[in-house]
Structure 1
Amino acid sequence: MSFESALTFFIALFIFGITPGPGVFAILARGMMFGARSCLPMAVGMIASDIVYLILACLGLAAVAEHWGGLFTIIRYVGAAYLLYLGYKMFTSKPDLSQQGNAGSDQGVIAGFIQGFLISASNPKVILFYIAFLPTFMDLTVLTTQDIGLASVLTFVALLAGLMLIAAFAAWASKMLRSERSVNRLNKSAGGIMMSAGAYLALKS
């Protein structure tokens, strides 16, 4: 992969990372409730799943999505149920100004990572995206281990930058809310966003 191709690949993935979808909405909701730092495990989990799909695409294993369709369906429903549960907890939580934006109130690093991984892994169409996307930047018939490694690193950095930018914006916006009434609205908004992301995962084909 040339420098120009790598740079274009990075920019394209950054844009892909901030494109609205269940993952972005989940990051937005968590950032509003617990601050930007708490979004890091979720973002890393989402990116880890994407990199798995990226590697599968590089290895030409497009048929995986078809052969393991049942497993993907189970993962999708588990991820959707988890998002709905977290969204409900956010929606019904009582305003607490002392905990606003406090990462210590979050569900934990492992839970955040698993949640993010499930959100991304629940969409087997991602592998098809990479299959269509990668040939624009590299010849998949002559890939080396270095090419796959470079693509994985660029994917990690680009997606992490995009997702954490969204998390930082959400956290900044939530800090503008100081009254108990505004925090209550924030809780309900974040919970609604999270539940909407869960419903999208559950209902999409």
Structure 2
Amino acid sequence: MTFESGLTFFIAIFLFGITPGPGILALLARGMSQGGNACVPMAVGMSLSDVCYMLAAVFGLSALATHWGEVFVVIRILGAAYLLYLGYKLWTSSPTLDETDVPRLRGNWWKGFLQGFLISASNPKVILFYIAFLPTFMDITRLSGSDIVIAAGLNLSALLLGVVPVGYLAGRVRRYLRSAKAVKRLNRSAGGLMIGAGGYLALRG
């Protein structure tokens, strides 16, 4: 992999990462309801899931998307249902001005990580994107082990650089709220985003 192709690959993945979709909607919802720090584990989970799909494309595992289609449909529906559930919990949560009392939905680092991983893993069409996308920047039939490591590192860092700030920007909104009524509106906005992400994922088919 040349420096030019690596740089172009990094920029393209960065733009891909911030493209609106179920992952970005879920990050916005989490940032608005729980703050920017709560978005970091979710962003890491989402990014690592994408890297797994990239590696699957590199190693020729795209057949899974064809021969195991029914399994992927089940995964997608379960992921969508989970997002809808989280959206409902946000929509109906009691307003609070104390960020330390934010949910019930906060959980621990690993819970956020698994949520993010599930959101990206629930979208098997990502692997088809990488199958069509990677040959534009590299000959995947001639990649060395070091090339694959570099590509995975560029992919992960570009995604994190793109999605983590999204969560922090959404988290800043909550700092300016001064009434329970405003917090309630924000929770409902975040819940609506999460429900939208679940519906988007369910209907993509």
In which range does the TM-score fall when normalised by the shorter chain?
A: over 0.9
Partner of 2:97: 97
Map residues 16-165 of structure 1 onto 2, 5 A cutoff.
16-99=16-99, 106-165=106-165
Q: Secondary structure at the match of 1:141?
A: coil
Aligned residues: 205
1:105 and 1:126, CA in 2 relative to 1: closer, same or farther beyond 3 A?
closer
The structural deviation recorded for 1:102 is 5.6
The structural deviation recorded for 1:19 is 0.4
Whole-angstrom distance in 2 between the partners of 1:89 and 1:100: 17
Which structure 1 segments of 5+ residues have no match? Answer: none
Q: Secondary structure at the match of 1:142?
A: coil
The structural deviation recorded for 1:136 is 1.5
The structural deviation recorded for 1:103 is 8.5
1:2 and 1:77, CA in 2 relative to 1: closer, same or farther beyond 3 A?
same
TM-score (norm 1): 0.94
The code of the aligned residue for 2:188 comes to K
Contact map agreement 1:35 1:101 (CA 8 A) in 2: no
Whole-angstrom distance in 2 between the partners of 1:147 and 1:134: 12
Contact map agreement 1:33 1:100 (CA 8 A) in 2: no
Whole-angstrom distance in 2 between the partners of 1:34 and 1:28: 10
Percent of pairs with identical residues: 58
The code of the aligned residue for 1:171 comes to G
Which structure 2 segments of 5+ residues have no match? Answer: none
Tell me the alpha carbon deviations over residues 46-66 of structure 1, each in whole angstroms, 9 at most, x when there is no partner: 112111110111112221101
Contact map agreement 2:87 2:193 (CA 8 A) in 1: yes
Whole-angstrom distance in 1 between the partners of 2:21 and 2:153: 22
Runs of 4+ in 1 over 2 A off after TM superposition: 99-105
Partner of 1:183: 183
